[in-house]
């Protein structure tokens, strides 16, 4: 659909954003559903000015990515309860000048896992203690799973574990830990270090499902070794897709064309 004076504007703010897959995914979704809208990438280093611009220009919705997910909270009029608990926002909705913030990262993670198993009562081990770990921990706890947090820096593991009332340990104790689900939220295994894995391969047989939020490469060394150990594996694109589906539905109130979005996303890795 060709933009005109009635085109609604959406986008992503972050720094950098040149690598984002979101514009292609959301623009394809708008076209498929017949919505007169366009989604652009905005490289933002001055967040307060950007927020004023969002209100002034009437931008209807935004994805928020690194490094603005935490700082954006102080500029919003309303924040979803789960996003508040996570302490990070990745989705904005402009409601006639009033900015609402939510978090769909946890929804993407949970839905990706729920496609494979029920989460209530399951033991999940989460690797990492950054922003993505926050979202995954919150989602797992929301669904009634038992969460154990593992991180190289034990102080960070302890701090995040206290926030979400879960157990924790250092990475050096990973050989003594087991569960049904293992989720890697660290960047270990991301290109150009795709030869690396966050955990020893011999522990993977203790888990049924292994999910890696890294999606470049699509099959990380962790997922390759997990597959060989007999685990069900979930790649990082699944979480990215499902969190974007939730964003689209928050913004438009319409059911997202998930097949179209998935096709666009995976075509970038063909």
**Closest Cα to residue 131, out of 105, 111, 100?**
105
Question: What is the C-alpha to C-alpha distance for residues 265 and 270, in angstroms, rounded to an integer?
Answer: 10
Residue-wise DSSP of 21-88: SHHHHHHHHHHHHT--EEEEEEE-S-HHHHHHHHHHHT--EEEE-TTSTTGGGGG-SEE-HHHHHHT-
The H or E element spanning position 225 is helix 221-228
**Closest Cα to residue 73, out of 56, 85, 57, 61?**
85
**Of the residues 2, 60, 69, 158, which is catalytic?**
69
**Closest Cα to residue 262, out of 253, 243, 252, 254?**
243
Residue 69 annotated among the catalytic residues of the structure: yes
**Closest Cα to residue 125, out of 211, 62, 1, 193?**
211
User: Which active-site residues does the annotation give?
Assistant: 69
């Amino acid at each position: 659909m060709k933009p005109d004076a009635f085109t609604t504007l959406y986008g992503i703010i972050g720094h950098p954003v040149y690598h984002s897959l979101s514009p292609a995914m959301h623009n394809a979704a708008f076209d498929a559903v017949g919505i007169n809208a366009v989604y652009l990438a905005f490289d933002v280093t001055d967040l307060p000015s950007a927020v004023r611009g969002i209100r002034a220009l009437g931008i209807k919705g935004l994805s928020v990515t690194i490094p603005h997910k935490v700082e954006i909270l102080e500029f919003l009029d309303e924040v979803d309860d789960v996003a508040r608990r996570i302490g990070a926002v990745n989705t904005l909705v402009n409601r006639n000048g009033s900015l609402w913030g939510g978090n769909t990262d946890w929804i993407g993670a949970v839905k990706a896992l729920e496609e494979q198993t029920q989460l209530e009562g399951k033991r999940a081990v989460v690797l990492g203690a950054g922003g993505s770990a926050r979202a995954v921990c919150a989602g797992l706890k929301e669904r009634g799973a038992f969460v154990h947090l593992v991180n190289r820096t034990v102080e960070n593991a302890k701090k995040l574990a206290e926030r979400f009332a879960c157990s924790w340990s250092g990475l050096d104790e990973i050989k003594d830990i087991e569960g049904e689900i293992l989720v890697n939220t660290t960047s270990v295994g991301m290109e150009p270090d795709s030869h690396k894995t966050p955990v020893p391969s011999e522990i993977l047989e203790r888990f049924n499902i292994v999910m890696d939020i890294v999606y470049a490469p699509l099959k990380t060394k962790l997922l390759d070794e997990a597959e060989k150990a007999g685990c069900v594996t979930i790649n990082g694109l699944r979480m990215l897709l499902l969190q974007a589906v939730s964003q689209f539905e928050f913004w438009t109130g319409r059911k997202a064309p998930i097949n179209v979005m998935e096709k666009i996303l995976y075509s970038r890795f063909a």
